[in-house]
Amino acid sequence: MIPAAFEYYRPKDLEGALSVLVEHGDDARVLAGGHSLIPMMKLRMAEVPHLIDLQDVDGLSGISVDGDTVRIGAMTTQHDIIDDAALAAAAPIMREASLQIADPQVRYVGTVGGNVANGDPGNDMPGLMQCLGATFTLFGPEGERTVEARDFYEAAYMTDREDDEILTAVSFTASKGGYAYEKQKRKIGDYATAAAAVLITKADGKCTAASIAMTNLSDTPIWSEDASNALIGTALDAAAIAAAVTAMLGDIDPTDDNRGPVEFKRHAASIILRRAIETAWSRA
């Protein structure tokens, strides 16, 4: 289908983009890579009278690793993540997840900011950012503010970002120890039926820290504190892993759709999560 008519803007700086947002309010949206917004516009699921393209805005892309602090600009592409050696060393789970997003054509254009900002429950980066304990930087009329990724998502396509704010960067502490991003999907390029991000720290044969999040199994990504805590202090025997899986299954709330009924999704979630935990532990 063809989207409804819209006015197109390509500002050179954040202030220019923000001025259009402030002027037009709910009628304006920013465009990053376009792989989430454009399909919705073409299907008439979203009508955007004023579209603001961020491609020419300086300072919104790039990856920096300063000690243990990682910062990724919102316009950084998935390909940039895959190709960055410093990021791969500081947070290898980022590269592992990006390699499973869509296909190479999408990864060359799709951005981190676009993936996390619009609240699509099927996107991979929101759950991963919750697993990493990331912080989002937002720029609006009152200046900059930060929001924890675990507090950002409110419902499907609803986030803590105000209509006149632009997500400019994500930041997090470099991940130590074992990691895994596992994803089950129907075909290459599809959203996940179930995906799991797991980080595990190990010392003296025991798990000393863990973080677990899953994607596309509820209206929002799910970071499960109970699932994470089920692993801490254990040697990740069968009982500990089963307890973590049970805890996560208690936190997710999948619905029937073209990826399968609820029973299948819960089964897929348990398999994917168990696989991710075992892989992360083997790498710890």
Amino acid residing at 251: D
Cα atoms found within 13 Å of the Cα of residue 164, Cβ hemisphere only: 14
Asked whether residue 133 falls in the same domain as residue 151, the answer is: yes
C-alpha span between 71 and 28 (Å, rounded):
27
> Does residue 121 belong to any structural domain of this protein?
yes
Same domain, 67 and 48: no
Position of tokens 């503010």?
A: 145
- Report how far residue 9's alpha carbon sits from residue 20's, in angstroms, rounded to the nearest whole number: 8
Q: Tens of pLDDT along 89-124? A: 999 999 999 999 988 888 999 999 999 998 999 999
Does 169 share its domain with 183? no
Residue-by-residue pLDDT tens, the chain, 284 positions:
788 899 999 999 999 999 999 999 889 989 898 777 777 777 787 888 899 999 999 999 999 999 999 999 999 999 999 999 999 999 999 999 999 998 888 899 999 999 999 899 999 999 999 999 999 999 999 999 999 999 999 999 999 999 899 999 999 999 989 999 999 999 888 899 999 999 999 999 999 999 999 999 999 999 999 999 999 999 999 999 999 999 999 999 999 999 999 999 999 999 999 999 999 999 99
Residue span of the structural domain in which 195 resides: 178-283
Which pLDDT score, from 0 to 100, does residue 136 have? 98
What is the per-residue pLDDT for 176? 86
**pTM listed for this prediction:** 0.94
Residue 160 lies in a domain: yes
What pLDDT, on the 0 to 100 scale, is given for residue 33? 83
Instruction: Name the domain boundary from 123, 151, 173.
Output: 173
Sequence-separated (6 or more) residues with CB below 8 Å from residue 18: 139, 140, 141, 164, 166
Per-residue model confidence as pLDDT tens digits over 243-273: 999 999 999 999 999 999 999 999 999 999 9
User: How many domains would you assign to the chain?
Assistant: 3
What pLDDT does 72 receive?
98
- If you search the block for the tokens 């805890």, which residue do you land on? 247
**Final residue of a structural domain among 144, 173, 202:** 173
Residue 86: the pLDDT is: 98
Q: What is the 3-state secondary structure (H, E, C) of 78-119?
A: HHHHHHCHHHHHHCHHHHHHHCCCCCHHHHCCCEHHHHHHCC
Contacts of 86 by beta carbon, 8 Å cutoff, 6+ apart = 63, 65
